[in-house]
Amino acid sequence: MENLSAKKFGVQFHPEVTHTPDGRELLKTFLFNHAGLKGDWTPQNFIDDTLKSIRETVGDGKVLCAVSGGVDSSVVAALLSESVGSQTTCVFVDHGLLRKGEAEQVHETFTKTFHPNLIVINAHDQFFSELKGITEPEQKRKIIGENFVICFERNKAVLESHDFLAQGTLYPDVIESGSATASKIKTHHNVGGLPDWMKLKVIEPLRWLFKDEVREVGRALGLSSEVVDREPFPGPGLGVRILGEVTPERVKITQEADWIFREELRKSGLNRGIWQSYAALLDVRSVGVMGDERTYEQPIVLRAVTSEDAMTAQAFPFAFEFLEHVANRIVNEVDGVNRVLYDLTSKPPATIEWE
């Protein structure tokens, strides 16, 4: 409805969702023709303002930036690198539950693109020994979260010699946590909350941005598409994609199957239409036959979904031949796998992750 003379407008549906025809046009007309806004936000304006404000806030202090390899923390690191690079240290905890090649890629991105110092904490042994014998999903999440904190505690000296902690908090996180204030460190499910003794002041350069804007900023800062277009990856990593016990052997199986699936997605170009895709390892065994031998091995489940915001998701409708090809490759190339399944369930009632 509209009342032009009273300047009142209303809708009783959701113009912002992608399924609404001309929803964007409707919003644009309201904002630019009636509400007097200009729409002059550009990634470059944002970068200029942010670099200036980081310099002002930090002064000659020292900044610590925890990075995960994901797009948000990489963009924060790039902004710090441009503004207070020599005063910045990035910390990357490698818990051994990343995708194949991901830890190396983080290292390469940092050495090639950014100037700050990077500390890599290799915590494979710590995480694997704490996860030994644990099969319950929430317990795994808790252990992984707690061990992030333990990694930080073991490196207390580094933390205590810094004044600021930079975080990749986005606007949706701010909304979700009600009233996130700059002084309060958000209990982030990726890191399970940070300990009280960390007396660092928080800087959150992305707290007014949505994910697509962060990606635009990343591109404008010259980050590669591998970083900017990276799909969301859960903080507990493969820990929630390996059902049952997480062991180095089972991580290896999952990484190899996941690698093959994603390689085929890239080759076919199908990855561009997919929100998240991965291979999960199930906690059952089934009988198969390989050559003349009977096998008794584990199944891999392939999951690929389309989504707007991870709140709902649909299984990607692959052609049968594509799935068959990936299944053949995985069974032939990955030791320990003798069956491949494709998960057809949408969210709800399923979730995107298996655990």
Match 């580094």 to its residue by tokens.
Answer: 158
In the complex, minimum distance from the CB of residue 227 to ligand XMP, in angstroms, rounded to a whole number: 17
If one asks whether residue 93 binds ligand XMP (CB under 6 A), the answer comes out as: no
- Radius of gyration, CA atoms only, the chain: 23
Closest CB to ligand XMP among 12 and 18? 18
Q: Is-contact 26 316, C-beta < 8 A?
A: no
The token duo for 347 is 């969210």
Q: Mask of contacts with ligand XMP, 307-336, x by CB under 6 A?
A: ---x--------------------------
- In 3D space, the residue among 201, 191, 83, 199 whose CA is nearest the CA of residue 147 turns out to be 191
In angstroms, the CA 211 to CA 200 distance is: 26
* Partners of residue 85 on adjacent β-strands: none
Q: Name the minimum Å distance from CB 187 to ligand XMP.
A: 12
Q: CB of residue 347 vs ligand XMP: minimum separation in angstroms? A: 5
Contact between 232 and ligand XMP per CB under 6 A? yes
Per CB under 6 A, the list member of 69, 168, 218, 234 interacting with ligand XMP is 234
> Whole-number minimum distance, CB 354 to ligand XMP, in Å?
8
Which of 8, 34, 189, 199 touches ligand XMP by CB under 6 A? 189
Run of H or E including 94: strand 88-94
Residue 192 near ligand XMP by CB under 6 A: no
Q: Which of 95, 140, 141, 186 binds ligand XMP (CB under 6 A)?
A: 141
What whole-number distance in Å separates Cα of residue 192 and Cα of residue 147?
9
Question: Binding to ligand XMP by residue 229, rule CB under 6 A?
Answer: no
In the bound complex, what is the minimum distance in angstroms from residue 95's beta carbon to ligand XMP? Answer: 12
Q: What does the DSSP 8-state code read for residue 230?
A: P
Closest by CA position to 341, among listed 355, 319, 326: 326
Residue 89 main-chain phi, psi, to 5 deg: -125, 130
- Does position 69 interact with ligand XMP (CB under 6 A)? The reply is no
Distance (Å, whole) CA 355 – CA 283: 12
Q: Binding of ligand XMP at residue 172 (CB under 6 A)? A: no
C-beta closer to ligand XMP: residue 28 or 347: 347
Piece of 50-58, 246-254, 280-288, 345-353 that binds ligand XMP (CB under 6 A): 345-353
Piece in contact with ligand XMP (CB under 6 A), picked from 8-16, 248-256, 291-299, 347-355: 347-355
Residue of 61, 39, 57, 59 whose CA lies nearest to 49: 57
Tell me whether residue 160 or residue 308 sits nearer to ligand XMP (CB atom).
Answer: 308
Q: How far apart are CA 64 and CA 298, in angstroms?
A: 42
Coil, helix or strand at residue 295: strand
Q: Which residues bind ligand XMP (CB under 6 A)?
A: 141, 189-190, 232, 234-236, 240, 276, 310, 347, 351-353
